[in-house]
Chain A
Amino acid sequence: MKHAESELFRRQTLALFFIVSIVPALIVGAVWYAYSQTTVLNFLILDFNSFVFPVIMVGIVPALILSFIFAEILTRPVREIHAAIQRLATGDFSRQFKGDGQGEFNEISVALDQVSRKLEQTLSQAFSETALIKAERGKLHSVLNSMSDGVFALDRSGRIVLFNKAASEITGRSITEVAGQLAEKVMPFRSDGELVMTRWLALGAGAEHKVGQWKGLELYSADGHSLIVDVEAVVLKDDPNGIAALITFHDLTKSHQLEEMKIDFVALAAHELRTPLTEIKGYLDILHTEAKGLTKTQQQFLSQAMSSAAQLGDLMHNLLNVARIEHGEISYQTDVVDYRSLIIDTTATLQTHATQQKRTLTLDVPKQPLAILADQSAIVEVIDNLVANAVTHTKPDTGKIYISVIAHRTNIETTVTDNGSGIPRHALSHLFTKFYRVNELKSTSRGTGLGLYICKSIVEAHGGSISVESVEGEGSSFTFILPRSTIATKASSTNNKLTITKGAHGWIKNHTVR
């Protein structure tokens, strides 16, 4: 062995050495292959071209091809997944993942597919919700901007955060002009020059939920025009969108102008109608006084013309009064009035007329002054109307009209009773209705059917009531009740305005009575 050994080691050798072990820790021996270097080199050098190269080529090329194919097989799913993820990223969920039906990539693609579908579902749901919200917002926008009323909203600091189209059109201010501005600066609603809403709104912490309404407030448009608006405001408590108040306003300017034009027109038309009537009545009156030597028939003609002119005057007065009542234009000028002297004065004027018509008129009134808060000429009109009706429905010579006044603790009851034709039972409930006439077609009496309607309006405007009792063929009895005033009349108990004359509706200051 020693020799062999030395021989072996002395020569240049190419050796291969393997350690033989059963388990890593237990080496059982070693295998040693040794070849002479020369032999190996000879073999390599001499036979490389004829043997090794072809072998290498035959081995490497397929290996390369195979490795390429394997790489392709291995990376394709990865690339597909990558592409798919990129598609996902751009929001394209249309293509499903194509797994190869086996292996880990298939599991991944199945999982990705699920993720994709889930994502698509969630996103499409989110999209449809967004679309819904957009649609809702669009609707809200349309509604707000197609409203004819102005709408604006305020935040907690009272600044404008919403301003609809009508608000812009009415005020002449654009949304960009008012957004973020204090409402009291750009939208100052005033009543008699005073700001009305700022204090009421009381926005900020602890604001309470409430609703407020104002009628006929003033507002100035951007170009300085005065507007009249009705306003409704809502204060919202803890609104999640940060809206503290919502204000709606309705522009009344145009309808106000129209209404005023209408009233002015009626007033003007009435003025124009009264002017010729004044002359007819006036010149007939002069003729009646001055005409000498008229025959009895001629005098009758004159009387008839005078009475018709007077009737025309009453008719016009009543028609215009109804128009004023309907338009709410009548404003009663109330004073503390002594009702006792008022009814004594009125009866005295009516007495002349009643005597002319051959009716007896009597008055029964308490001795003490009776204070009422009233528009004197309006109350005179009520008494006038009731007595005129009584005269119409009674007969000359036998006709009796009796006015009685009873003072109760809180009110005064006045009854006008006559012994005339009376009113049919069926007509009683319609009597105070506008244009109602008992015998519409028979035309037994003249009139528009407005007198009692006007009486009712006047009495009710004074906080009183009016009623009727009647038996057909025996007579009628009209009663109106007026509340007593808590303020007493002055000791002298004279009224500060003088009743002009029956049927006249102006006033004269009573300077001469002391």
Chain B
Amino acid sequence: MAGSKTILFVEDDKPIAEMYSRVLEREGYQVEFASNGTEGLQKATSKHYDLILLDIMMPEKTGIEVLDELRGADGSGSPDTKIVILTNLAQDKTSQEALKAQADGYIIKADIVPSQLASIISKLL
């Protein structure tokens, strides 16, 4: 089943992107990458993904800005795509911003290992 699911991973840190993708691909997901916010937004608007994993601190556009643009002003944009923030920013205010902007999740990278991310995604999709 997982094989039919597509994931867009927007992350500027290559070792981290490779680390997660290794596990996600092993689980059968189709993973595509974008290395900054602008590229991520471009890919997300040109093709459908079941899940978008968004880093926050990236060049050009932050993950929150990408989330804002994807969900739109009324928060109803891209209704068939789950968007999860995957960051190491653990501030409450950032987490609340993501919640307001209609993210489906907020995960702190350092708190989990790749296999845990895979199990969270399997519950979500």
Contact = CB atoms under 8 A, between A and B. Distances in A.
A301 interface: no
B75 interface: no
B39 interface: no
Contacts of A320: 90
Nearest to A313: B110
Nearest to B124: A508
A274 B99 CA distance: 22
A277 B13 CA distance: 13
Size category of the binding interface on chain B: 35 or more
Most buried by B among A329, A333, A509: A509
Contact of B111 (A279, A285, A504, A512): A504
A278 B84 contact: no
A227 interface: no
Contacts of B85: 506
A70 interface: no
A282 B111 contact: no
A508 B84 CA distance: 8
Nearest to A314: B111
Contact of A507 (B19, B20, B95, B110): B95
B90 A500 contact: no
B111 A313 contact: yes
A283 B15 CA distance: 10
Contact of B107 (A267, A286, A331, A504): A504
Q: Is the interface of B mostly helix, strand, loop or mixed?
A: helix
Given A267-B89, A279-B19, A330-B92, A508 B120 contact: yes
A323 to B, nearest CB: 11
B110 A274 contact: yes
Contact of A333 (B22, B92, B120): B92
B88 A274 contact: yes
Interface string B27-60: 0000000000000000000000000000001000
A508 B113 contact: no
Contacts of A324: 92
Q: Is the interface of A mostly helix, strand, loop or mixed?
A: helix
Interface string B111-125: 111111001100110
Contact of B116 (A267, A333, A501): A501
Most buried by A among B13, B19, B90, B119: B90
A275 interface: yes
Contacts of B123: 498, 508, 512
B96 A504 contact: no
Interface string A321-361: 00010000111010000000000000000000000000000
Contact of A501 (B20, B82, B93, B120): B120
A329 B89 CA distance: 14
Interface string A260-280: 000100010011001101110
Given A330-B92, A509-B104, A282 B16 contact: yes
B111 A500 contact: yes
Contacts of B91: 263, 267, 329
Given A267-B89, A270-B90, A278-B88, A286 B109 contact: no
Interface of B: 13, 15-16, 19-20, 22-23, 57, 82, 84-85, 88-93, 95-96, 99, 104-116, 119-120, 123-124
19 contacts: A271-B57, A274-B90, A275-B110, A278-B16, A279-B19, A281-B113, A284-B113, A286-B114, A324-B92, A329-B92, A331-B92, A501-B112, A501-B116, A505-B90, A508-B84, A508-B104, A508-B124, A509-B105, A512-B124
Closest A-B pairs by Cβ, 4 of them: A285-B113, A274-B110, A274-B88, A504-B111
